[in-house]
Amino acid sequence: MVQMNLVTDTVLAFYGIDKLRFVKPVFIGIRSSCKKVADAIAKSSEMGVVTFETTVRNQNARPLLVYRDKLAIKKRPA
């Protein structure tokens, strides 16, 4: 997300990580990860917390690591 410049001036803070599981051993050669929005909660009029379900896969598309990460995000102007 950072390399694609998707979070510039929108992410306020890393809010946490939950349910981190190593499904298989992780070695050099990770090829992709998949993020899906699992939840979004308004915390104030200026920000909310977005929870992502993330799966990191190896070069053979097998899941290696799964977790839920949370980011504090600025709300869009109304």
Rg (CA), the chain: 14
Q: Answer whether residue 59 shows pLDDT above 70.
A: yes
- Residue 66 is assigned to a structural domain of this protein: yes
Mean pLDDT of all residues belonging to the chain: 82
Print the domain residue range for 22: 11-74
- Residue 60 is assigned to a structural domain of this protein: yes
pTM for this predicted structure: 0.71
Q: For residue 15, name the pLDDT band (cuts at 50, 70, 90).
A: confident
Q: Answer whether residue 27 shows pLDDT above 80.
A: no
What CATH number does the domain containing 41 carry?
A: 3.10.129.10
